[in-house]
């Protein structure tokens, strides 16, 4: 059957809407040893991620910044407006990730694990969705392999317990796209409502970009397979009511509380950030200018080690195309469009981050596993390759985590946790001045006492009447010593100085 024949088979009958055909794909046949190996891989990576969640300090700037915003939410009790600094609203993102991390700290205390745990739960929810979906469509063994591949992709593993906006949004987009297929394939209204719930999660996690990331693959798939009639199977009235009730109240309240939010967020963050090279309108940092098309390179790095799997498919291109052509359901096309949606959206964007590929990684994992399962015989070579890739990835993340935990100074980890602890031991509850700019990790670990200071202010602060601690870049250390400040040593990127106590001066 040709691709045209496959697409034509999806056109609606004159009598009404017709649901998608179930994919005719064979499940992988894993023996008990292979299943136990996969479960061991998942358990090993899970334990490693949990260890990192507890032991690795927050690092500047991204995770420490979002963690500090969440900590301020707990401290101030202002759960409506995230604060970039005390009294300064953070308009860069909606508050879902902040609510999650702040909720964790409200329950379990202000610490790294409490802030990261809710993000980890969103990642586990994504894995559960993918496992359930693939098991229903292909089979339990393929579902287990796909879940393992997704869980061990470099970017997914790293972001799975990282305090930032992206993983909650990935939960939302995954729920939309999985929910749509299940809703129109089964006629299940609960799955249909999950589409609108996923859109609400995306809108509260990152805004309209989440809707666009879902609309691209869905619209293209509906157009290419001539399946627009399937939209009628969604519960639009109840779904739009759910979406409005969950999303609109916060957006309206945020604009009322801090006028100007909607203009900055919708125009600045969603248009100018991506279309204006070196965008200077960012209120909270600077744009990340990259060459157009860099998002594809980011995908290759983010999906490691499994981004190397397409090379295996290229060795049998005819068989791979045959699998696509004979899939009358359009499910493989559905996966492919979902996988490339972030890449297409951000190809011409200048201000991008590697994390922007995350929403497409679930589809990439499933598509790679399914195609390899259909094309490959699944012999010993394939299994050995899988084992080597898994173990190499585990060894890499184990080395990175061990370095961050046991040798943060040696690798100059971008965190001021130990510096704050040393400052508190020397001068408990004293002000901490981070000379040369903000340190979000210092603010988090000092519970907001750390304040940024200009290099030109060092002299005045050192001669002030209030005993203080100073986090100083190494190039300013000679000046601090000349002012009579006591040098307590180097901590990663900074040198800690304190005002001499009276007994030491005498």
Interval 417-458: pLDDT, tens:
999 999 999 999 999 999 998 999 999 999 999 999 999 999
Domain boundary among 358, 380, 405: 405
Q: Secondary structure of 392-439 in the HEC alphabet?
A: HHHHHHHHHHHHHHHCCCCCCCCCCHHHHHHHHHHCCCCCEEEECCCC
Burial class (CB in 10 A: 0-12, 13-18, 19+), 177: buried
Instruction: Give the pLDDT band of residue 288 (cuts 50, 70, 90).
Output: low
How far is 101 from 96, CA to CA, in rounded Å?
9
400 and 424 assigned to the same domain: no
Range of the domain at 220: 3-405
What does the pLDDT average to over 312-333? 82
Task: Give residue 162's pLDDT.
Answer: 95
84 and 232 assigned to the same domain: yes
343 and 485 assigned to the same domain: no
Task: Give residue 74's pLDDT.
Answer: 98
Q: Which residue has the higher pLDDT, 313 or 240?
A: 240
Interval 180-234: pLDDT, tens:
999 998 888 899 999 999 999 999 999 999 999 999 999 999 999 999 999 999 9
How far is 368 from 384, CA to CA, in rounded Å?
17
Q: By three-state DSSP, how is residue 469 classified?
A: strand
How far is 479 from 421, CA to CA, in rounded Å?
23
Other residues' Cβ atoms within 10 Å of the Cβ of residue 348:
11
477: CATH: 3.40.50
161 and 107 assigned to the same domain: yes
Task: Give residue 505's pLDDT.
Answer: 41
459 and 366 assigned to the same domain: no
337 and 363 assigned to the same domain: yes
325 and 469 assigned to the same domain: no
Q: Secondary structure of 138-158 in the HEC alphabet?
A: CCHHHHHHHHHHHHHCHHHHH
465 and 334 assigned to the same domain: no
Task: Give residue 271's pLDDT.
Answer: 75
Least confident range from 35-39, 96-100, 378-382, 434-438: namely 378-382
Give the DSSP H/E element, type plus range, for residue 245. helix 236-257
91 and 119 assigned to the same domain: yes
Domain boundary among 405, 440, 466: 405
Q: Is the dihedral of CA 155, 161, 165, 171 positive or negative?
A: positive
Domain boundary among 371, 405, 439: 405
- Is the confidence at residue 140, as pLDDT, over 60? yes
Q: Does residue 465 contact residue 458 with C-beta atoms inside 8 Å? A: no
Note every long-range contact of 131-136, with CB atoms under 8 Å and residues 24 or more positions apart, other chains counting: 133/178, 133/181, 133/182, 133/366, 134/366, 134/369, 134/370, 136/182
Task: Give residue 372's pLDDT.
Answer: 87
- Is the confidence at residue 2, as pLDDT, over 60? no
How far is 160 from 154, CA to CA, in rounded Å?
10
Mean pLDDT, the chain, whole residue set: 89
Task: Give residue 377's pLDDT.
Answer: 63
């Amino acid at each position: 059957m040709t691709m045209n024949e496959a697409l034509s088979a999806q056109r609606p009958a004159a009598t009404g809407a017709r649901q998608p055909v179930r994919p005719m794909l064979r499940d992988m046949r894993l023996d008990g040893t292979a299943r136990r190996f996969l479960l061991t891989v998942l358990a090993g990576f899970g334990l490693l991620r949990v260890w990192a969640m507890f032991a690795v300090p927050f690092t500047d700037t991204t995770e420490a910044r979002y963690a500090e915003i969440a900590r301020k939410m707990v401290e101030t009790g202002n759960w409506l407006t995230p604060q970039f600094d005390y009294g300064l609203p953070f308009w860069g993102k909606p508050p879902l990730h902040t609510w999650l991390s702040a909720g964790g700290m409200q329950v379990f205390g202000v610490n790294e694990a409490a802030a990261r745990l809710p993000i980890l739960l969103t990642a586990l929810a994504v894995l559960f969705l993918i496992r359930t979906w693939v098991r229903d469509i292909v089979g339990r063994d393929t579902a287990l392999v796909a879940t393992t591949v997704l869980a061990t992709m470099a970017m997914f593993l790293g972001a799975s317990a990282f305090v930032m906006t992206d993983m909650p949004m990935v939960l939302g987009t995954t729920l939309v796209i999985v929910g749509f297929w299940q809703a129109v394939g089964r006629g299940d209204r609960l799955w249909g409502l999950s589409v609108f719930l996923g859109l609400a999660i995306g809108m509260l996690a990152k805004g309209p970009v989440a809707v666009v990331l879902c609309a691209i693959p869905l619209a293209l798939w509906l157009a290419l397979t001539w399946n627009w009639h399937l939209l009628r199977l969604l519960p639009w009235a109840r779904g739009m009511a759910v979406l409005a009730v969950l999303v609109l109240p916060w957006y309206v309240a945020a604009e009322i509380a801090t006028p100007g939010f909607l203009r900055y967020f919708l125009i600045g963050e969603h248009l100018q950030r991506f279309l204006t090279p070196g965008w200077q309108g960012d209120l909270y940092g600077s744009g990340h200018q990259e060459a157009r098309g860099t998002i594809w390179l980011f995908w290759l790095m983010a999906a490691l080690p499994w981004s190397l799997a397409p090379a295996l498919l290229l060795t049998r291109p005819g068989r791979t195309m045959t699998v696509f052509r004979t899939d009358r359901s359009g499910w493989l096309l559905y996966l492919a469009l979902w996988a490339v949606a972030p890449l297409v959206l951000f190809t011409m964007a200048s201000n991008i981050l590697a994390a922007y590929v995350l929403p497409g990684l679930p589809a990439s994992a499933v598509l790679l596993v399914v195609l390899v399962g259909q094309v490959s015989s699944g012999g010993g070579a394939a299994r050995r390759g899988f084992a080597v890739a898994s173990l190499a990835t585990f060894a890499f993340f184990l080395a990175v985590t061990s370095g961050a935990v046991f040798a943060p100074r040696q690798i100059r980890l971008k965190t001021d946790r130990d510096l704050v602890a040393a400052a508190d031991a020397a001068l408990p509850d004293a002000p901490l001045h981070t000379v040369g700019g903000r340190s979000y990790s210092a603010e988090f670990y000092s519970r907001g006492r750390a304040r940024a200071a200009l290099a030109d202010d060092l002299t005045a602060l050192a001669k002030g009447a209030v005993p203080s601690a100073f986090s100083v870049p190494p190039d300013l250390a000679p000046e601090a010593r000349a002012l009579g400040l006591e040098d307590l040593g180097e901590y990663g990127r900074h040198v800690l100085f304190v005002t001499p106590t009276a007994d030491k001066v005498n």
